[in-house]
Amino acid sequence: MTSEKVTDAPEEGYERGLGSRQVQMIAIGGAIGVGLFLGAGANIAKAGPSLILMYALAGVIIFFIMRALGELLLHRPVSGSFAEYSREFLGPFFGYFTGWTYWLMWVVTGMAELTAAAIYVNYWFPSVPQWVTALVFLVILFGVNLISVKLFGELEFWFSMVKVTALIGMIVIGLGVLTFGFSSAGDAAAVSNLWAFDGFFPKGVGSSLMTLQGVMFAYLAVELVGVTAGESENPEKTLPKAINTLPWRIALFYVGALTVILCVVKWTEFAEGVSPFVKAFAVIGIPAAAGIVNFVVLTAALSSCNSGMYSTGRMLRNLAASGEAPEVFARLSSTRTPALGILVSVCFMGIGVVLNYVVPEKAFGYVTSIATAAGIWTWLMILISHVLYRRAVEAGRLPASSFPAPGGAKCSYVAIAFLLFVTGIIAYDADARVCLYVMAGWAAALGIGWMVLTSRNPRIAERRTREFEKVG
């Protein structure tokens, strides 16, 4: 029976309106977010120059995750891919749990980005309440996502272009300061700043490892390229290219930019809540440039929130197509966007506006820890699905992907171990631990929801089988 096969494409009806140019820039922009532009300030204060090593280490793991995802995407490119692969390889419950958890991740990430955007606007307009700014941005981005996927892609392209250009400019100016000595930084700018103030690990290796939870938050959204699969014009060509460029993006935009900044400005001058990029330009003595960088980091926050609205609507539609969310979320608007799913997600993102009203000084920290925990779950599901897929290929049950991950499943096992280690760090940190309590409550709520769903429709819990078919 056709209903028993996993052959219906959940992305059916979407407009394939994302060209190669847009997918590439979405992938690049996904690796540059508010976690780098804002969160890095607090992490530098905790770990000093060793934060560079933490970003490099986490970047290697992220590449393992993305190559695992890439192999799955070329096995079967679908919108809402993480939930679909969890459903196919681990069973219906895991697809349901992953889909809803990824939705939660983007909702709370959207809250974090709105909070960050409001903080950046305060740089120019300190008298404007954070919650007012957050609400205005929420409404504007909601309108953009309702119009069409092409408009989303174009806006995301230019958001990402601004971020990339600014980071490259920061690196070039920083290298100029180090090489030629111009700027107010003067002789204070030197490569020796990486070890001159209590060494490369000024607060010990343990403190450096504790920053990994914040570092992993900075990498949330790199997997967004997988959500675009159902709306990409040519996923077989654009997705591998986007994933294979990830290492140089991480090396340049994270490791490179932070290395230059920490050479120009000694690490002891950074603090929580202050963008290291704005601080660096202020020390260099280019006040106008600091304002420009503040604009750039504002676009980074809006870019991520824009992506969040995009992905949450698609994930809700994927869940609805599988009977794991209300059927009404499966409908597309006249512009072929999942408008109702986006609307509901935006309403939940509005909780971030409330947090900015009630606890503006703590709002960012609360939501980033929850987003990180949800993101770790999503990455674990990608990796475990990849391991099971490779087993199926080796057993001859499924065709091999045209984009195999280097090292096969071995790198996925390494990444799984690393993510479990980061989860242990979160559990050890008293401030971050609250997100695990939230996730436990979330898991309980989803468990109850699953029992209700399966009691009404037992077929939802049936493991469906896939035909042996060549993809691509």
pLDDT score, position 468: 44
pLDDT score, position 106: 84
Per-10-residue mean pLDDT, the chain, length 472: 38 53 64 69 88 92 92 78 85 91 86 79 84 86 76 78 83 85 70 88 90 84 67 70 79 87 87 78 75 80 80 83 84 77 87 69 69 89 95 91 89 96 89 85 94 87 55 36
Alpha helices in 322-433 (DSSP H): 339-358, 363-394, 410-428
Give the Å distances, CA to CA, from 457 to 91, 100, 327, 450, 460: 16, 18, 13, 10, 6
410-440 b/e with 16+ CB inside 10 Å = b?
Answer: ebbbebbebbeebbebbeeeeebebbbebbe
pLDDT score, position 321: 82
Q: Which residues contact 399 (CB under 8 A, 6 or more apart)?
A: 75, 393, 468, 469, 470, 471
Enter the pTM of the model.
Answer: 0.84
Cα separation, 170 vs 244, in Å, equals: 24
Q: What residues are paired with 465 via a beta bridge?
A: 5
What six digits make up the tokens of 332?
Answer: 């597309």
- In terms of Cα–Cα distance, which of 402, 68, 79 is closest to 246? 68
